[in-house]
Structure 1
């Protein structure tokens, strides 16, 4: 994420590619979620980094079936034209049962180049 002060934005004003990914991921549509990424994209989640379409597809498939949970988009930030953060509140049967996750997106050419998920 670039330095500088990110601005709070309405979640519905996130870029279309971010919204498309989040919507597809929420309903466990792996092909739809994967289509939002560059072929050489990276995802970092739970301390692991996944590089390229095949690794991201495997991560999406595993993440979709690992736990049952609800997810609510609660906040959004814009750092610049290519860097956004979407905060989700999750509740479910995962360890701890409740968490707020920050999805940190870097975009390139209208697609997701990097996604870092942290709490």
Structure 2
């Protein structure tokens, strides 16, 4: 069971593994860690990493698992929840107000005349 809520993300961030830096895809983020995609051969379980989330936020941590190109990182110290939420998808995106949908994702459209109705 996880200690922190995990948010889906889709960002490119800078990552340092050992002395090597490179851009990685950040797929999810929580206060305790994250999942990235990298092709680096240095990204092995137990390796020390640093994820640079912004110019002011760099999170040191350790790789705790790897499956193919996907890597799980546990941060050395917890990341503030507000930073996590800023990176994650929100439940109500800006476009949702202009494109309302039902719980199945079907667009809700106003119809002044019902289909098939003969007057």
The structure carrying a bigger strand percent of its residues is: 1
TM-score norm. by structure 1 comes to: 0.29
- Higher RCO (C-alpha 8 Å, min separation 6): 1
The structure carrying a bigger helix percent of its residues is: 1
